[in-house]
Structure formats: C-alpha cells, structure tokens
Amino acid sequence: MRTQCVIIGSGPAGLLLGQLLNRAGVDTIVLERKSLDYVLGRIRAGVLEQGAVALIEGAGAGARMRAHGLTHDGVEIAFAGARHRIDFKSLTGKTVMVYGQTEVTRDLADARAQCCAPSVYEAEVVGILDIATAHPRVRYVKDGTSHEIECDIVAGCDGFHGVSRQSIPDGMLTSYERLYPFGWLGLLVDQPPVAHELVYVNHARGFALCSQRSPTRARYYLQCRLEEHVEAWSDARFWDELRARICPDLARTLKTGPAIEKSIAPLRSFVAEPMRCGRLFLAGDAAHIVPPTGAKGLNLAASDVAYLSQALIDFFRTGRQDALDGYSARALRRVWKAERFSWWMTQLLHRFPDASAFEQKMQEAELSYLFQSRAAQTMLAENYVGLPY
C-alpha cells in the first residue's frame, strides 16, 4: 500500500490536516488506534480562536460550527467576591467561539467520510520506519493482520502518549516540562450555563471555571489535589464546592443536575524540540501540552496544522522543501508564546499548595494590576483571542 502522507491520529489535529491536504489534492491515510465511537466520546475543551475557526471552514467542516457555535466577546475573572470583565472585542477587535472539541472532531470526521478519504480505526501502529529516508514506512495491525504503508511524509498527530514522538531516536529531541501540583475536576451537565461568558475564579478554596458547550449544556471545573479520585466526588459534593467558590450571585442562579461526564485531569506544560525528525513531523499534543487555563491546546494544534499543511502542499506541488525545513522553528515560535500565556494564567488563577505568603501577595498584586490597567487587559485579550499565525 502507498500514499503520499500517513497521518497518525484522528483527533482534530489529524483530521484537520487530512482535510486541508485532501482539498489540495494530496493523498492521505489516517490511522487511529481507537474506535471512532471512542474518539467521539472524548470530552475536551471548546474555545476556538478565529484562526482555528477559519481553518475548520477552509477544511469544509464549518457549517454546524457556524450554526451552533457561541461567539464570546470576553471573559470574566472573579476574585474576592467581585467579577471583572475582560472585553476582547473592545481591546482587540476580535472574539472567540465556544464550540466543543468533540463536535469539531465529529464535523471533520463526517467531512472526511463524505469525500471518501480512507481512515482506518482500531489500527495499532507498531512501527514508523526509515524516517531518515525519502520513503518512510508505517506498519500497523488491524484485526490481527499486519499491514505496511509506504509514503513520502508521516504526520504524528496522535497525542502526548502516542507512538509518533516515541519513535524518534534517543538524543534527537529536547523536552521541557513543568508539572503542576493540582488537577482539574470537570463535570458536564445538561443545564443552561450560569453565565453568558466564561467565568474564571480565583478563590481561597481553589480555582474554579464556569464554562459551557451550548445554551443548554454547561461545563464546570474545580481545582483539586492530584491524589484525589473522581469516585470520591458525588454530584452533590461537586455542586456544593462550586457554590462555595463562585460569587454569591452566580451561586444563587446556578442550575444543577446529574453529571453526564465527570473526570480529573492533571495539568502540565510540555514542549519537545524540534517538531520534526527526517520525514516524520509532529503536530498538536504529540509535540506540546499546555495547561487548559488559557484555552490553547486545540488552538495550538490548529496553528501547527496551518503551518504543516502549507508546507506539505508546497512540497507536493513544487518539490521544494524550504517550508518543510522551516516548519518546526515557525511552529515553535508560536508554541512558546502560548506556553507562556497558559503558564501565566495558571499562576495567576490557582492556589498553589506550597506558595509562601509573599507569593500569595504577588498573585493578589498581579490581579489588582490586571483589573486596573487597560494595557494589562489588552495583553491578556490579544493572547486569549490568539496571536497571528
């Protein structure tokens, strides 16, 4: 079997790359270790920068997003019982769109199926070979049978734990990592959101976030200890703790209900450099992870895909490798800026268990400066809505 580009991973990064390449006439095969139902059952973030929205539309998968996505002009930050609004539109002229990552993945999978581009689910990749040559090979097992695909390019879009980054020889990558001493306990509920826009909360009991997926479905998060187990959090305990952290006016109007999904996720910052080894290119979580505080995970994957798709289309049309050679450096410049912003938001809004009294005062001073300074608010806004590609 042969194709021009093998894409490993059918999350939004892999499917978005596949659609952009297919529409440019580049042949692709997508390999995914899990089933399609499993992929579509994963609950993830849902705040899209304008650049990500434009890419999804350019991939021919934007109709449902435009019909059901929620445009947000800003966010609120709650501290010391008061809510402070950061007005993205007045500060930058830009907005964000709230549309669940699960829905983005579904739309891209449907678009791929409609154009009959091949995707192989429940395919276990067991080898990425000859990446230092012009014709790498990918071996996978499906239903107990081994297969091999020869290609020109391998795109590793299979996430932090995927096989792609692990296939790069020792010594070829440098990794940078920060593990945070807490996690996020998330709950999804079929109830109207408590606020029109996202509300980030810095509270003495810990961080909280009031988010949403639609006008009738809300997503809430609580900072929790890493060693906690989701089974210890009944719905009633979650709602009681959320009410204790959010502002009293929100607590009074909060609509609760049985959880559709509940999970705990650790927080980490991670970058692997470079994002390329020979003919193997990394994109999305395969190359970097951000804490979700700044809503950058999916959006960074989208910017990676924008750079990589442009480089690959140029390569297959002209044979030139300039853009491919520059892909990693170009992507990493934006990655590190998003890492900085996500780290800063995390430092600003969470209660760190080992923070000294001085560090706590510094956090309070930072918040006070943010609420009083238009320049500081503009910095937050321009990063949140997305830096230019």
Q: What is the pTM of this model?
A: 0.95
Is 113 inside a domain boundary? yes
Predicted confidence at residue 46, as pLDDT, reads 86
Predicted confidence at residue 20, as pLDDT, reads 98
Structural tokens at position 112 = 């791929």
Stretch 56-68: mean pLDDT, rounded?
97
Predicted confidence at residue 368, as pLDDT, reads 98
Predicted confidence at residue 24, as pLDDT, reads 97
Stretch 39-46: mean pLDDT, rounded?
82
Active site residue 384: yes
Is 191 inside a domain boundary? no
pLDDT above 90 covers a percentage of the chain that reads: 97
DSSP symbol at 80: T
**CA distances for 320 relative to 119, 317, 323, 324, angstroms:** 28, 8, 8, 8
In terms of residue numbers, what domain contains 9?
5-52+100-177+268-346
Q: Is residue 43 predicted with pLDDT exceeding 80?
A: no
Cross-strand partners of 125? 140
Is 233 inside a domain boundary? no
Predicted confidence at residue 12, as pLDDT, reads 96
Report the candidate in 69, 332, 107 with the shortest Cα–Cα distance to residue 214. Answer: 69
Calculate helix-pair angle for 12-23, 101-114, nearest 10 degrees. 30
Residue appearing with tokens 């990592």: 177
pLDDT, tens digit, 9 for 90 and up, residues 130-183: 999 999 999 999 999 999 999 999 999 999 999 999 999 999 999 999 999 999
Is 70 inside a domain boundary? no
Element (H, E) at 221: strand 217-224
Length of the chain: 389
pLDDT, tens digit, 9 for 90 and up, residues 230-277: 999 999 999 999 999 999 999 999 999 999 999 999 999 999 999 999
pLDDT, tens digit, 9 for 90 and up, residues 94-113: 999 999 999 999 999 999 99
Is 108 inside a domain boundary? yes
**CA distances for 365 relative to 105, 167, 212, 361, 362, angstroms:** 40, 45, 29, 6, 5
Predicted confidence at residue 44, as pLDDT, reads 75
pLDDT, tens digit, 9 for 90 and up, residues 339-387: 999 999 999 999 999 999 999 999 999 999 999 999 999 999 999 999 9
Pairing state between β 123-129 and 137-142: antiparallel
Is 192 inside a domain boundary? no
Q: How confident is the model at residue 306 (pLDDT cuts 50, 70, 90)?
A: very high
Cis previous bond, 274, omega within 30:
yes
Q: Which alpha helices (H) appear in the chain, and where do they start and end?
A: 12-23, 36-40, 50-58, 63-68, 88-92, 101-114, 163-166, 235-245, 248-253, 297-318, 322-349, 357-372, 374-385
Calculate helix-pair angle for 374-385, 357-372, nearest 10 degrees. 90
Is 12 inside a domain boundary? yes
Active site residue 229: no
Q: Is residue 317 predicted with pLDDT exceeding 90?
A: yes
Is 371 inside a domain boundary? no
Average pLDDT of the chain? Answer: 97
Could you say which of 99, 140, 200, 220 is catalytic?
Answer: 200
Active site residue 200: yes
Element (H, E) at 141: strand 137-142
Q: Is residue 45 predicted with pLDDT exceeding 90?
A: no
Could you say which of 140, 292, 327, 350 is catalytic?
Answer: 292
CA 375 to chain centre: 27
Could you say which of 203, 262, 296, 350 is catalytic?
Answer: 296
Predicted confidence at residue 123, as pLDDT, reads 97
Domain at 21, CATH number = 3.50.50.60
Could you say which of 99, 220, 307, 384 is catalytic?
Answer: 384
- Name the domain count of the chain: 1
pLDDT above 70 covers a percentage of the chain that reads: 100
Could you say which of 72, 203, 288, 350 is catalytic?
Answer: 72
Count of helices and strands (H, E) across the chain: 13, 20
Q: Is residue 41 predicted with pLDDT exceeding 90?
A: no
Structural tokens at position 217 = 């479905």
Report the candidate in 133, 254, 250 with the shortest Cα–Cα distance to residue 189. Answer: 254
Predicted confidence at residue 234, as pLDDT, reads 98
